[in-house]
Structure 1
Amino acid sequence: MKSILIAAAVAMIVSILFTPYLIRVFSRQGFGQEIREEGPQGHKSKRGTPTMGGVAIVTAMVLGYGAAHLITRMTNPDAEPPSASGLLVLFLAVGLGLVGFLDDFIKIKQQRNLGLNKTAKTVGQLAVGIAFAVLAVQFADENGITPASVNLSFVRDVAWVSFGLVGFVVFCYVIVGGWSNAVNFTDGLDGLAAGSSAMVFGTYVVITFWQFRYDCATAASSGCYHVRDPLDLAVVAAAAMGGCIGFLWWNAAPAKIFMGDTGSLALGGLVAGLSIMTHTELLMIVIGGLFVVEMVSVVLQIAIFRTTRKRFFRMAPFHHHFELAGWAETTVIIRFWLLAGICAMFGLGLFYSEWLTAVGS
């Protein structure tokens, strides 16, 4: 528990203190956000706001995780070192953050709202996702458990749905690409993605700590979990939560800095990685329900417009629809935060109810 608190506290402090430094540096360098012409007119005033603030989130997350292990080892030499699961999830987040950084940097240099083309962005996500998937089924522990399972999972593995190695790699890419794009779509209003992500990661702190308490390697119970390194995953989730909260201090409306694709792709990758490592891929659809709705709104808008030449929403992603309907930006943000919190709590309730059922069976 101490390592979880340290990770969250250090990440939050680093993010709060490091973000204003990035604001000053990026402002001097002219690293300002470009706003698409067809977007809501109220967003035109945001043009030039420093972007790539995701650098602060990723840095805070990595330092929070490292500090938690360092301080814990100093006070307890027998403490567990960083695990394969924790490092792999961080690798996925940092790798996608680098892809997002390239995308943001090209936008700034070319002074346009489009950075990497679709092919280059997809190739970057593909490379990171495949590397993660291949490594995630390596490094078996003394019980033969690898960081990830090749089975589809809800709260536990669904035994009759196994992808096999090749299928798992493809499945991982779909999960990684889907979640990174979903969070990217959500990052369209001040603080919306950072606040929603903090709720998701906070939920996973609870889930992974619960899995640690009822790990089958230490707790002989009908409701135990076969998850590799759950406590270390809780440390990663706590560091990510702290990083998002610290960044939100400066990103809340009116934002002094945007996270850019650097942050949204990294956070989406972390969402995907946590769902895979904790064997909760399907449950994450509920916990991250707001991200799902945002992505589905874009898919629906494109599909319906191409078939009927009519727009289903005033504008996609979904949050812009309400802006154009006359809602104030802060109203949209707060109400979407409420939706994100409801989804997270409902997902946590499903997780707990499944455990009660498993224990009672």
Structure 2
Amino acid sequence: MISRFTFNVIRTLSAAAFASIVGFLITPALLKALHKFQFWKKEKRDKAITGEKLEIVSLLEKEEKVPRGGGVVIWGSVLITSLAYFLISKIEMFWWLKLFNFISRKETWLPIFTLVAGALIGLLDDFLTVSGKGKYVGGGMSFWRRFLVVSFIGLIGGWWFYFKLEWRTIHIPLILNFPEGIDLNIGILYIPLFILVMLASWAGGVVDGLDGLAGGVFGTIFGALSIIAFAQGKPDLAAFCAAILGGLFAFLWFNIPPAKFYMGETGVLGLTSTMTVVAFLTDSVAVLPIIAGILVIEVGSIILQLISKKIRKKKIWLATPIHHHFQAKGWPHYQITMRFWILSLIFAFLGLILRLLG
């Protein structure tokens, strides 16, 4: 007789494996469609969101017809896996198949909705970008429009947690009460905190700049969140995060150098918004900056560069986000990507340890 714990482990791993297989199966058709509709940027990016000239970045970017929208593989495989497991659970002949379903109101309805909503909005932005429409440099939604959209998603999420789930506290591990940590009641500030974390996570999407980089980094993040959810007795959420990890594996297979496609906003916005929701569901917001350390470094490099140019009138790095700095220094793409993967694993392990201890 298989114990409940063992079965949950099997279900979690099977969700990752199934999503990977689905991702491999749907990618050829997606690639064909993306090339048919020429779903790639028609112009090289030579300006920042602020309109500033980006000489170094424009030199580094090559003229190539690599389509955006690869993130469809990730969220598409997760949705198909979720639906397949749900339908399998309805087979009356084998009662134990019901246990494979990980769609539940308590744990996964909200993250699934967030993943789909973020991905579809991102897909619209990708369409505007490749068609050259919109006010953003090179096409797509303007920065402030994106900012407002992400803020609105965060507002809905924060409202749901505060009023529907009645969550008021965030857990801060290893502080004041070692090793358990403390639960800090922040009251109505829970909503603006949710919006802030959502925006910060979305900003971390700048990591999607080199072949394989974003896929590996997001993989370590969702792997850590899956383990945390499992350890907290949230097996449905753990299986859902594992399915995302599986989708990322399939995406990475086609995204490592030379990339067959890029993640695009449909992947970035879907993953970052879902990452925020899962972090709050597992009460891991305090350690999210550690688990997602690479995203923090990427965004931090941009902020520090802007501050330095404003105050000191000089740059700290050759280009930002910081992976472009190493690119400008002559590091090969694969070297930057793999070293960032290693750092991301270290950050994920550190955050995981802190959360499990606390």
Paired residue for 1:63, among 69, 75, 80?
80
1:157 is displaced (CA, Å) by 8.0
Aligned residues: 326
The equivalent of 2:36 in structure 1 is 28
The equivalent of 2:177 in structure 1 is none
Matching of residues 1-361 of structure 1 within 5 Å = 1=8, 2-33=10-41, 34-37=43-46, 38=54, 39=57, 41-45=59-63, 47-72=64-89, 74=91, 75-76=95-96, 79=99, 82-110=104-132, 113-137=138-162, 146=165, 149-155=167-173, 158-159=182-183, 161-165=184-188, 167-182=189-204, 184-212=205-233, 230-354=234-358
The equivalent of 1:223 in structure 2 is none
1:296 is displaced (CA, Å) by 0.7
Query: Structure 1: which amino acid aligns with 2:224?
Result: T
For residues 7 and 73 of structure 1, do their structure 2 counterparts lie closer, same or farther at Cα, with a shift above 3 Å needed?
farther
RMSD: 2.1
Query: Structure 1: which amino acid aligns with 2:61?
Result: H
Q: Contact between 2:108 and 2:236, CA under 8 Å: does it hold in 1?
A: yes
Deviations 1:285-340 (Å, cap 9, x if unpaired)? 11111111111111111121122221111100010000111111110001001100
TM-score norm. by structure 2 comes to: 0.85
Q: Contact between 1:3 and 1:69, CA under 8 Å: does it hold in 2?
A: no
Q: Contact between 2:89 and 2:98, CA under 8 Å: does it hold in 1?
A: no
1:283 is displaced (CA, Å) by 1.0
For residues 78 and 110 of structure 1, do their structure 2 counterparts lie closer, same or farther at Cα, with a shift above 3 Å needed?
closer
Query: What is the rounded CA distance, in whole Å, between the counterparts of 1:204 and 1:56 in structure 2?
Result: 20
1:237 is displaced (CA, Å) by 0.6
Q: Contact between 2:75 and 2:247, CA under 8 Å: does it hold in 1?
A: yes
Query: Structure 1: which amino acid aligns with 2:96?
Result: N
Query: What is the rounded CA distance, in whole Å, between the counterparts of 1:294 and 1:131 in structure 2?
Result: 27
> What secondary structure is seen at the aligned counterpart in 2 of 1:44?
coil
1:76 is displaced (CA, Å) by 2.9
TM-score norm. by structure 1 comes to: 0.84
Query: Structure 1: which amino acid aligns with 2:294?
Result: L
Q: Contact between 2:229 and 2:235, CA under 8 Å: does it hold in 1?
A: yes
Q: Contact between 1:52 and 1:104, CA under 8 Å: does it hold in 2?
A: yes
> What secondary structure is seen at the aligned counterpart in 2 of 1:94?
helix
Query: Structure 2: which amino acid aligns with 1:55?
Result: V
For residues 24 and 353 of structure 1, do their structure 2 counterparts lie closer, same or farther at Cα, with a shift above 3 Å needed?
same
For residues 157 and 164 of structure 1, do their structure 2 counterparts lie closer, same or farther at Cα, with a shift above 3 Å needed?
farther
Structure 1, unaligned runs of 5 or more? 140-145, 213-229, 355-361
1:25 is displaced (CA, Å) by 0.7
Query: What is the rounded CA distance, in whole Å, between the counterparts of 1:40 and 1:116 in structure 2?
Result: 20
Query: What is the rounded CA distance, in whole Å, between the counterparts of 2:283 and 2:141 in structure 1?
Result: 32
Q: Contact between 1:92 and 1:129, CA under 8 Å: does it hold in 2?
A: no
1:43 is displaced (CA, Å) by 2.3
Query: What is the rounded CA distance, in whole Å, between the counterparts of 2:289 and 2:120 in structure 1?
Result: 25
Deviations 1:149-183 (Å, cap 9, x if unpaired)? 32122358843x32223x2221111111110221x
Q: Contact between 2:67 and 2:261, CA under 8 Å: does it hold in 1?
A: yes
Structure 2, unaligned runs of 5 or more? 1-7, 47-53, 174-179
Deviations 1:236-265 (Å, cap 9, x if unpaired)? 111110010111111111100001011011
Query: Structure 2: which amino acid aligns with 1:70?
Result: L
Q: Contact between 2:162 and 2:191, CA under 8 Å: does it hold in 1?
A: no
1:232 is displaced (CA, Å) by 1.4
